[in-house]
């Protein structure tokens, strides 16, 4: 999928909230020195009746001298592409009748 693609087998669910408001997963091994991804599901505070789906990602890459350049030119575009795809896929899935 991209330069820093994470294999599904290297990601494991670590936390599942009993109220199903969030779950989190972590990378066990792979290209990142840290990868934690928290998915949250919240009612719209405006009362629209929709559920807000949010992602919070904490990540770090190995302490390379060129880390800022790697993040700017390779990692950020890759993550933007991944989460744009995910947002569009979720939108299609959740609005399907």
pLDDT of residue 1: 43
Whether 3 is covered by a domain: the verdict is no
Which segments within 17-82 are labelled E, that is strand? Answer: 22-27, 34-43, 51-60
Whether 44 is covered by a domain: the verdict is yes
Q: What residues make up the domain containing 68?
A: 8-95
CA 16 – CA 10 distance, rounded (Å): 18
The tens digit of pLDDT for each residue in 21-80 reads 888 889 888 888 888 999 999 999 999 988 898 999 998 888 776 677 778 888 888 889
pLDDT of residue 38: 92
Whether 1 is covered by a domain: the verdict is no
pLDDT of residue 85: 92
Number of domains in the chain: 1
- CB < 8 Å & 24+ apart, contacts of 76-80: 78/1, 78/2, 78/3, 78/4, 78/5, 79/4
Taking the whole predicted model, whether its pTM rises above 0.85 is answered as: no
Whether 2 is covered by a domain: the verdict is no
């Amino acid at each position: 999928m991209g330069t820093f693609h994470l294999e599904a087998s290297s990601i494991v669910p670590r936390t599942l909230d009993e109220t199903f408001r969030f779950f989190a997963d972590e990378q066990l091994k792979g290209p990142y020195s840290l990868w934690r991804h928290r998915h949250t599901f919240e009612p719209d505070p405006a009362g629209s009746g929709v559920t807000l789906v949010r992602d919070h990602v904490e990540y770090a890459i190995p302490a390379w001298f060129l880390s800022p350049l790697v993040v700017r030119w390779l990692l950020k575009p890759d993550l933007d592409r991944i989460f744009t795809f995910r947002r569009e896929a979720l939108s299609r899935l959740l609005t399907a009748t």
